[in-house]
Each structure stands twice: as structure tokens, then as C-alpha cells.
Structure 1
């Protein structure tokens, strides 16, 4: 029977845990997950910066399918759903990060152009901790089901819903959507994704409830 994950609301405690993971002596992969707007990217970036060279950030978002491909598939209006990513490619990258002892290159998603850039993130072999963040790290559908077994630990960002949605709407506006478009996307497509992701919450090792700045 799955035990309810422990709740952590201190960044200092999270950082201390990340330092422990980086000191294991072998390559370790920490996953940070949660619904859209939960603060995954912010937390992951803060952890990697604080570890000062002992960690590298590899976001799942680099595996977004290109907009042209989403149009071909008829899925452009659901960009961000679990089937609009190259999940098999992401799994293959995680395996390389665990097994290879050479520099591995990961893709980077640029919100400014809504597309991914291949080979943009170098992960040197001496990097002890890889932090990867994304929505579907605990999903048990298709290729996503292989992700959990490739991660040493998974944290689930779990803010209150009002805060999450407000942050998400603001992010969409910052990326060029009108207030009306931003709210419609956050409460429509994003919310459908969030409800799916919420079902994976109890599979995490830790629930993160940090106060928002």
C-alpha cells in the first residue's frame, strides 16, 4: 500500500536534500513534477543555481512536438497534453543520462518561439545531479510509464489551486496571450492536464508546498 508522501514547505530543507542526492558518488536524477503553473521550473532553477555546478537542469519541455507536427496531428489546440510530447525520446535521454559517461546534450524549449532547440543543454559526465522537471514524470500511460523507474527521487509541487491558476494565467499573458485567451487556456486545456496529473500525486516521494514570492 502506497504511503502518503511527506510534505515539505522549506526551501532550505529541499536544498539540503538535493545536496545529499548530489553527494551519492554516482549520477543521480531528481524529478520535480506537478500540474501546470505549480512552480516546478522555479524550484528546479533555484535548486540548480544554489548547488553551484553540482547539478544540471534538463526540462521535460524540450520534448514538445513541433507546432507543425501538432497541426498535422490536429493537436495544436491541446499543446501541453501528454500526447503532444515525444515521450519515448525523453525516456531515451534519461537512460543516456544514467548510463553514458560522456557529455549528453538535451533539447531546450523556448517559450518565446514556442519551439524546442535540439542539443542546447550540455550535461558533462562529471555532473553528479541532474534535475529534470515536467508535468508527466509520474504518469503511467504509454512511454511515460518508464520515466519513474529512471528517477532516483520525485518531488510533487502542490500549491493551492487559486495561486496556481493565477500564476498560470500571468505566465500565458507574459508569453503574448490576451487576458481572455490566457484565462481560457488556463481553465481549459491546462486544467484538463492538471486533473490528469493530480492523479499521480501520491506516487511522489515528497509533496512541496513552498510559499509563493
Structure 2
């Protein structure tokens, strides 16, 4: 994988679909990275829909530690920070997806309506040639996160204007039951701390994007 040193740009979805299709042959693991509210899951969903039956979506958020474990560790207030995920488990899943393309491998899924991960919710089948995975820390350099990018065929980094990203994030928190004050506090608190860390990894991406056009 190369490293992106150009300024991010808006790119047409069709061009991204074509780029993803040309990453093969064989099993492709495409990573989409970015800070909270950057639009990672939206882009991943659009890509998978456009790619059709050959693609499947696997989110890093499926490796969130359960709420009871966050409480035991005293990390509830920092949910979303690197040490609130089972990073080694995510690395192991990516390794299996890359090296075992002829068998069905099950991945977990994060359900925002209950704020918990669900094990075995996503079957990655042999016919899924392209696995689209997204998350905050795909390019983080600390252990064990640094192993993630070694399993990815290519990594794209979404970097919209910070004002846009924060507005999206506040709206998401509101949509899941937080008051406006609580949503803003989360967006400008722990989420912002994580965003600074994530945005610093941007130069390690293969492609930088501000937005995806229809």
C-alpha cells in the first residue's frame, strides 16, 4: 500500500466502485477510515450496494467491548477510544478473511439502538470477493492496531470539513436519544479527542476523500 500525501478531494461514487472492483484478483479487504461523523458507514453501505453480491460490509464497531466490560474497566466515559475495542479480535478477523476466502467466516455487528455488539451477525461467504470494512482506527500506529493495515488491500480516508463532521455527529447522538446539550458535550468531548488522534493518521491512507458525489 502507498501513502497519500495529496489534499483530499470529492470523488464520484462510480469511480470508487470501479477502483474497488479493480483491486483484485482474489479476496479484497477495503478499509474506510475517518473520524467520528466523517461518513464512513454511509460510504461503506453505498459501496456494498453498488458492488452487489460480490461485496459485504464488516464494521470495526462490532468489536466494541460490551457495556458491562467497559464498566468493569472504568472506561464507560471514554467509549469509542482505542482501548474500548477488542483490537486483537478485529485483527484476527481480518487475518481470517484474507487467508480463508473459501469458507464462511462470521463477523460481529454493532447495534446502535442498543449500543452493544452482536456476535456472529454477519456471514462473510466465499462469493464475497470484496470485504468493505470501516472504522476509526484502521491506520493507528500503536499495538495491536498497527497490524490492521497489513491485512487491508487498500485504505481510504474520509476527511470532510470539520464543521460538517461535528454537525453530523451531533445529529447522530440526538437521533439515538441524547438531548442537544448531551449530544454537543459528547461531540466536543470524548469524540473530539478521538478525532484528533484519528485525523493524525490520515497521511497513511491510500486515498483521501472530502466527499462522495452521486
- TM-score, normalisation: structure 1: 0.95
Question: What is the number of residues matched between the two proteins?
Answer: 211
1:176/1:3 Cα in 2 relative to 1: closer, same or farther (>3 Å)? closer
| Contact 1:54–1:128 (CA under 8 A) maintained in structure 2 | yes
Structure 1 CA distance for aligned equivalents of residues 6 and 125 of structure 2: 32
CA distance in 1, matches of 2:165, 2:130: 28
2:15 to 2, 5, 13: 13
**Which position in structure 2 is the counterpart of 1:155?**
156
| Contiguous gaps of at least 5 residues in structure 2 | none
Change over 3 Å in CA distance of 1:17–1:110 after alignment to 2: same
Rounded Cα–Cα distance in structure 1 between residues aligned with 2:99 and 2:39: 29
Number of the residue aligned with 1:63: 63
Counterparts of 2:122 and 2:135, CA distance in 1 = 16
Q: Is the 8 A contact 1:64 1:86 kept in 2?
A: yes
Cα deviation, 1:63-87, whole Å, max 9, x if unaligned, reads 0000000000000000000000000
Root mean square deviation, CA, Å: 1.6
TM normalised by structure 2 equals: 0.95
Moved >6 Å (runs of 4+): none
Alignment partner, residue 204 of structure 2: 203
Deviation at 1:16, TM superposition (A): 1.5
How far does residue 20 in structure 1 lie from its aligned partner after superposition? 1.4
State the alpha-carbon separation in 2 of the partners of residues 212 and 180 from structure 1.
32
> How far apart are residue 5 of structure 1 and its match?
4.3
> How far apart, CA to CA, are the structure 1 residues paired with 2:42 and 2:7?
21
Which residue in 2 is equivalent to 1:37?
37
Q: Is the Cα contact below 8 Å between 2:10 and 2:213 reproduced in 1?
A: no
1:149-189 CA-to-partner distances (Å, cap 9, x unmatched) read: 11010000000000000000000000111110000000000
8 Å CA contact retained: 2:53, 2:128: yes
Contact 1:56 1:127 in 2 (8 A): yes
